[in-house]
């Protein structure tokens, strides 16, 4: 049971209603973006949920909530990716210990990971991170303005950067697969 006086206890406040609305319309889109970017659905789910937790904790709505959520999710993603890459840090050398980085894929994942997904992933990863972000954010339907705010770019340059990112991605994919 929540404390009296907690902002979260007031479920009828405009804030809660607005969070519910943006969660409804935005959660899946942000998850898809983070999943495409990270290639790790669990990580994507974690960081997107955490971004909404932070929105709740904030207690007030940012001016550009979609861009704010993207930005927060990106920061969480960078932190979490760094943590997971060094997930096991030995305090002192220990025999019999294994690291997590090379853990095998789940059977489901192994079955799903076709050539196409691997090629697309590899082509995407050839792009600089900013180009990946622009490409994927736009692919999820975000407007130039939201992309510019989330990635701290000049809105006028988003179109040029997006065109370049699309071209680079297509070229990388074709180079890898020989497709034209």
Partner 1 sequence: MHIDEERLLRLLHGELGRADEAEARAHLADCEECSRRLAAMTRDEERVDSLLRALDRPAPRVDLGAIARRADARRPWIPRWAAGVVLVLGLAGVAYALPGSPLPRLVDAVVEWAKGRRDPLSPGAGDPVRPNSSTAGIAVSPGERFTILFQTPNAQGEILVRLTQGAEIEVRAPRDVATFTAGENQLVVDGRGIPATYEIDVPFTAPRVEIRAGEDRVFLKEGSRVTTSLPAGTAPPYRLAIPMPRR
Compare residues 31 and 68 and give the one whose CB is closer to partner 1.
Answer: 31
Instruction: Count the Cβ atoms, other than its own, within 10 Å of residue 151.
Output: 18
The closest of 73, 35, 38 to 54, measured between CA atoms, is 73
Residue 87 sits in the site that holds partner 1 (CB under 8 A): yes
Per CB under 8 A, the list member of 92, 107, 178, 180 interacting with partner 1 is: 92
> C-beta of 151: minimal distance to partner 1 in Å?
16
Tokens of 93: 């050398």
The closest of 101, 123, 132 to 38, measured between CA atoms, is 132
CA distance 93 to 89: 10
Residue 128 sits in the site that holds partner 1 (CB under 8 A): no
CA distance 124 to 94: 37
Per CB under 8 A, the list member of 13, 17, 25, 53 interacting with partner 1 is: 53
Per CB under 8 A, the list member of 69, 138, 150, 151 interacting with partner 1 is: 138
Compare residues 63 and 85 and give the one whose CB is closer to partner 1.
Answer: 85
Residue 4 sits in the site that holds partner 1 (CB under 8 A): no
Residue 78 sits in the site that holds partner 1 (CB under 8 A): no
Instruction: Count the Cβ atoms, other than its own, within 10 Å of residue 126.
Output: 15
Instruction: Count the Cβ atoms, other than its own, within 10 Å of residue 149.
Output: 20
Torsion of CA 50, 51, 53, 55, to 10 degrees: 170
Which residues of the shown chain bind partner 1 in the complex (CB under 8 A)?
Answer: 2-3, 6, 8-9, 16, 19-20, 23, 27-28, 31-32, 35-36, 39, 41, 45-46, 49, 52-54, 56-57, 83-84, 87-100, 103, 114, 116-117, 120-121, 123-124, 135-136, 138-139, 143-144, 159-160, 162-163, 166, 169-170, 173
């Amino acid at each position: 049971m929540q404390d009296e006086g907690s902002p979260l206890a007031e479920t009828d406040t405009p804030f809660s209603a607005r969070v519910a609305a943006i969660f409804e319309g935005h959660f899946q889109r942000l998850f898809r973006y983070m999943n495409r970017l990270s290639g790790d659905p669990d990580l994507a789910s974690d960081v997107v949920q955490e971004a909404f937790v932070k929105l709740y904790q904030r207690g007030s709505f940012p001016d550009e909530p979609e861009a704010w959520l993207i930005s927060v999710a990106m920061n969480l993603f960078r932190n979490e990716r760094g943590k997971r890459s060094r997930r096991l840090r030995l305090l002192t050398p220990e025999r019999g210990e294994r690291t997590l980085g090379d853990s095998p894929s789940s059977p489901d994942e192994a079955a799903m990971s076709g050539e196409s997904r691997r090629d697309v992933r590899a082509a995407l990863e050839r792009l600089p991170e900013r180009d990946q972000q622009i490409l994927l954010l736009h692919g999820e339907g975000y407007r130039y303005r939201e992309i510019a705010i989330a990635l701290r770019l000049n809105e006028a340059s988003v179109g040029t950067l997006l065109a370049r990112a699309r071209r680079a991605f297509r070229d990388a994919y074709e180079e890898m697969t020989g497709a034209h």
